[in-house]
Structure 1
Amino acid sequence: MGASRRHPYQTPELPRLPTCYHWDMCSDTAVSVLEGEVGRLSCPLFCHPSIHNYTSDHKLVWHHLPEGHDLEQPIVFSLPIALSCRNRSSCIKMATRLKVPRPDEVVQSVDCAPPVATAADDVVIPLQEGKMLDCPDLQEAANMADSEPTYCQPYPFWNNNREQIGARLQIHIMYTFYQGWYYCTVSYQKRGQSLKFTRKLNCNAASSLAVPTSTSKEPSILLHPNKVGLFDSVSDLEVRLVCRALFPYLDSSWEMWWTVDGKTLDKLPDHHRFNRTIRLLSNQDGERTEESVLLIKHFQSEDLNREINCSAQNQRGSDTRRAELREEASLPSVELSCGLGMTLVLLLLLFIVYHVFWLELLLLYRSWFSTDERHSDDKEYDVYISYARNSEEEQFVLTTLRSILENELGYSVCIFDRDSLPGGTITDETLSFVARSRRLLVVVSPGYASLGSQALLELKAGIDAMALGGHLRVILIQYKPVQRQGWVRELQRARVALALVRWQGDKSKELTSRFWKRLRVELPVRSVDNKMSDRKHSHGCFHD
């Protein structure tokens, strides 16, 4: 077969070399060049500290690797590409990325400004002072050009404080309103071809120089990390250490870096686990606050014992802070979740139990901690029953209320119609019975107030005794429903403040029903075991 035709820009074929060690992509040297303009690429091998000590006999070969391809191709600069350079003698490769955006893809800070793909250079000029501005990369273009480059600033200057002198921009006196973006476009001839590039400057006014020169201009570390949380499995844990530094204004360079065990990140045996980023947080009057983040992949417990430092330096001095890492014990998430769940379930069960059995719990509490009122007062009777004098309610009072209160619960019950002596004065005896009782049970029904004044007299006496002395409590038992207009004034007043226990017919007959439990809560504390000892009081309220 005949010899293949070689591309005019293709380098001569190299003899076959051993497998090269690939240093991957160098993000620090990425270049962005606007389509149709000139750009410059530097081989990142010589900027890498680990192979910085190269000899002069090294020969470099450039290769083009388009995006989405695996094979190197002849160099074509019209599309976004990645370039790798090969060190001929030691066979080391490193790639740098070249991006070529179109003019309409570039976002401009000013609408009328020319499109610029490269990053802006920051320039700081002290207020009331001057400085000469050079267009970035101008000197390099001058060295490569066949003719003198021309400098173009898109905005004319209408005063003597700023003027263009040749290819440079002179600012004689700096004011705050001169801050902003400055653009320069350079055109030149190279081998008979017209070339150009556009750059921009971010110009800021610095008032901090008005401070006396004795003021410290050394950088200072503002924020450094001091703890790391470790979990049971740390093989895939990533730890972010954040360091912030303040750089006072100086017309000189500055830098931030991390060291681990006294070595920079690129010189560590496990350097692939460490990655750092730097970003500008603020730039006010020339004072810069920058943040550097160190990302440690696959963090291990052994890393806690390593010395990790964050450093900042400028022309005046430096500052270094150590990241004092200490382990934080992880919370047992499963145990914590189970414990929290059990606590919530227990609280829910307690709420349900109390909502359903609150009467039983209250009665149990009273039986344990309450004092028998018979030992603290001089009353003779536990209960006085007031009711309407008709056959139905009288039957309910005598056969149900009296029977259970006396025979089952052991209370002494006084009923006027049953226990009063003939020939006495009704009013005097009624007031006497009520005054000598601990509770007044008022059986409320539609006919309570309409069938005579005896029931109203008992109710009024009980309410007055309760209001004045506090030694008597009135309990309302609703035997039958009563319409609101059927409540007399005394009952309406009593209903607001007094307990109301509703009788519900057959559902309330059993001693275990809600009616009797609710009534026992309002009655004096009495043990069923005392029932027989009070049998002599249960046959009536006769008096001497």
Structure 2
Amino acid sequence: MQTGYVLVSFMLPIFLEGCCVGDHQSKRLGFQQNTEHQHYRAVEGEFFMMPCFKSVNLEWSRIGEGREANDGRSLQCGTGFLAEATLSGKYTSLTSGSNLFFHLQVVGKNSLRCFHPEESSATLLVGVGEKLHCPGLNCSNNTGVIWYKGNKAVSDQRRASCEKNGLLQLCQVWKEDTGVYFCDRHIIELGVKWTFRRAVNVTVVPHKTPSYPPRIIYPINNTFEEVELGKSHTLTCEVIFPFEMKTTLVVQWYMHYGGNVETSTLLHMENSPSKGVTFSESTVTQGTIIKEVTAQHLNSTYTCIAKNTVGNNSVTIRLKKKIKVKWQSLVGYPIASFLLVTGLGIVLHEKRLELKLIYRSHFQYGIQDGDEKEFDVFVSHVWSPSSEVEGVLTLSSQSRPDPDEEACLSSMGQEGKDSMRPLELLLPQVLEDLWGYRVCLLERDILPGGAYTNDVVLAIQRSRMLICFLSADYLSNSNAVFVLESGVQALLQNSSLKLLLIWTSRVSSSLIHQDPPLPTLVQRSLKVLPSLNWTGGKAARATRNFWKSLRKAMPHHRQ
């Protein structure tokens, strides 16, 4: 077991490439004796940090005599600042409970026997071992050197390092090693031990020289950018550069007239490119402004070129005219769809009664309710003056129609034929004698003495179809209007009922809005219910077409 420890102890320095791990010869020598009085020396213009001795919360207050009397200036231990000659003097602290005195002397650079500005900074490569030199170490006799990062000794930090002959050797550099290091070397003058604190600004880099050229991430090569004629447009080039210690990056825009690369013009760049920096790379965005886009710009090509010490890269784009649209697809179409749906919903809500009547009367007729009907057709009309003269009972005494149905129907209602009998007399004759339908007439088939409203509702329920003869006399008759309204309500409730309107005078639009006004249900239903126009007294062809249309509208004969 002891042999293993010996081998590990022997091989560890080899693995660390000769790093003197743990060889910290100087262990804060000056701090172990007489910590009540400390003398520090700094170089004017260099970074300095107030030390902390017994407490991390020490606050140093300046004291003095005469002109240097207490001016109220105080500095917290661990505070960093650029050393100035005016800060020289004596400081005290009562924080720890005992008097501590701190003497600071800021000397000028010219008073030093040797001063090399390059010693105050160092660049270290990450991942390898590096050494830091203490500035001015060889210019005077030194009793020891202690290295600090911030206000903490490097020897107390958990890392592989060592201090030897005034050098700080880091066995492996980390990114976090970037910062300010202090080397405290001790000198004795006139019997007083001074701690001469010098600062070294350390920068850790991923590599000393880049290994690849820049790459352009925007724009994409051989693409188009949309522009508006007469307006300004900014060409933007976004490039990623590898880290360089000495920045030599270049980003430029060129314009080629007519697409000819031999006629290149360097465009004016903006004041300074914007940068985004990471540890190993930096992103540079460079733009150029076309103040007013013309047709000539559309015929040219534009190239962005990015360069560094390794090489260059480029992309070429063109401009095209932007097509203006009145409605943006992401905004206009949803709004238009919403308005369309909303408008359609409003229309459907307002016209739901008419739509229901259309559906019931045109598409859903024929669905039987299972009850046997006593009548095929219920005919509703009011007597005109001419029909009252002839009397409704003359129907039974009329001779049967001509055996030729078409010729008979063509002659009915014609001038000189059947004495111009009104439709109120002709229709029941045709329906019963010629077509064989069972017709219900209130004045003939309903027993007198009953309530009119009950008789009407019962007659509609006992019939398969309701036919109403509409005229000015009909729509001004309250009893007749009640029959029509009852039929519409029955149609809305019973899909097996069929309802047909026959206009005996072609003034339907004025009759709907007559005075006194018709019920709202009747007004709206007159616009959509199936209807025919009676053309009595006109040509035989028109009369024949009326009877054909009526025959098609009638319910089918039951088997």
Q: Which has the larger radius of gyration?
A: 2
TM range (shorter): 0.3 to 0.5
TM-score normalized by the length of structure 1: 0.38
TM-score normalized by the length of structure 2: 0.37
